[in-house]
Structure 1
Amino acid sequence: MSSQPSFVVLVPVKPPSIGKSRLSTMPDPQRISLATAFARDTISAARRASRVAEVMVVTDDHRFAALAVAEGCSVLPDGVHGDLNGTLVQAAHECARRWPAYGLAALCGDLPALRPDDLDEALAQVPADGPAFVTDALGTGTTMYAARSLGHFDPDFGGESARRHREADALPIDGELSSLRQDVDEAGDLGRAMVLGVGDHTNATL
């Protein structure tokens, strides 16, 4: 199978000042720094993946937007306030307008251990005729949702999203993909990500 760039990756990023609320046992400055570092390591890994043509960061945080642009990403503001899935669909329409030849992949912004090869392996499994998704390490959430055409792109992130994506006939992507499955919501998740090996920004923050 060709490994030519074939996807635009959309990474939604909450303003770090309100992100990672379940790490609230940490002092605010540390939590904010980690939320920023997680997202920077996620987009850095995505940009290095051979199947990724473009990375679009979706955020209302002007400071993070400036960081993302400096790192070679495109940026859009949140399109639908308080509605992640609506925002992703709106951003996907803009990506399809700009880059009509590429598929679309929504990627969680809290994957500090993400390796480009895991992302490439997952994107290679996205079928031509429908969406696919990667479950998180617990098997209940979703860390990536992708489709090769805008017409098949209908993400449903949120609690128990893996079940809903299955019920909507999205394909669960196979493989260990440990770095793509390990998102960080709580302190224990961060420990598991550190075992896998976190990116430079998270490592420097820690």
Structure 2
Amino acid sequence: MSYEVDLVVPVKPLHRAKSRLLGAADCGRRDPGAHAALALALAKDTLTAAAEAPGVRRVVAITSDPEVTSALRALGVESIPDEPDSGLNEALRHGARVLRETDPLARIGALQADLPALRPAELGAALAASEGRRAHCPDRQGTGTTLLVAGLGGELDPRFGPDSSAAHTATGAFRLLGDWPSLRCDVDTEEDLEVAAALGLGRHSGERLLARLRKPCP
């Protein structure tokens, strides 16, 4: 039986994305352009890796930012507008509905857009470990969620937000706890960036940050 997944990946407008990382790209100068470029690089690396993962049939970004849409189109990644524009969970429900309109039997998954070290093989291993069940992968702190997949024929039922791993567990989503550090390493802070860099950043994030991380700011 095939457990292939169609992934929806929400990407915030760049001017609102990753507020806790403001200053990380430019030694604390907090330049909006540098910050937007960093946020976009994180998303591009995530989506590129996700599209290459075994078990992933389709990857669609959910975004209303035209700059994001254009950049992803150049990578061959499709996107749909975040028409509800009323929060992460509503965006994911909207994306799931759109994908199901194309294929009512599609198995839907949600992936966070801030996984710049993501290795396709690790995402593929996590999807295989779900074995068709509704399941989720906690972040490296064990409280958040980086990946949520619906069960075969089931609804995604996203519960992202504070303590989302506990919320997903409480609604029946199996916890995926295998050896896939790049899938669990979402990036919200400079410390997270350093952990991701140690795992190996994707090309786009690496171009923005690797030299900066190796050479401390003055």
Contact (CA 8 Å) 1:96, 1:150: kept in 2 or not? Answer: no
Contact (CA 8 Å) 1:43, 1:109: kept in 2 or not? Answer: yes
State the partner residue of 1:22.
20
Instruction: Single out whichever of 136-145 and 47-56 deviates more from structure 2.
Output: 47-56
State the partner residue of 1:205.
208
For the aligned residues, what is the CA RMSD? 1.6
Moved over 6 A (4+): none
State the partner residue of 2:213.
none
Which AA in structure 1 matches 2:66? H
What TM-score do the two structures reach when normalised by structure 1?
A: 0.93
Task: Summarize the alignment of residues 122-133 of structure 1 with structure 2, pairs less than 5 Å apart.
Answer: 122-128=126-132, 130-133=133-136
Q: Give 1:67 shift.
A: 1.6
Contact (CA 8 Å) 1:102, 1:148: kept in 2 or not? Answer: no
Question: Which of 71, 93, 102 is the matching residue for 2:75?
Answer: 71
- Determine what percentage of the aligned residue pairs are the same residue: 37
Contact (CA 8 Å) 1:136, 1:142: kept in 2 or not? Answer: yes
List gaps (5 residues or longer) in structure 1. none
1:173–1:78 distance in 2 versus 1, CA, 3 Å: same
Q: 1:31-69 CA distances to partner (integer Å, 9 max, x unpaired)? A: 211100000000000111121111100001011111212
List gaps (5 residues or longer) in structure 2. 210-218
What TM-score do the two structures reach when normalised by structure 2?
A: 0.88
State the partner residue of 2:188.
185
* Larger-gyration structure (1/2): 2
Q: Give 1:139 shift.
A: 0.3
Q: Give 1:101 shift.
A: 4.3
Question: Which of 4, 10, 13 is the matching residue for 1:12?
Answer: 10
State the partner residue of 1:159.
162
Task: Summarize the alignment of residues 18-167 of structure 1 with structure 2, pairs less than 5 Å apart.
Answer: 18-25=16-23, 26=28, 27=30, 28-128=32-132, 130-149=133-152, 151-167=154-170
1:99–1:74 distance in 2 versus 1, CA, 3 Å: farther
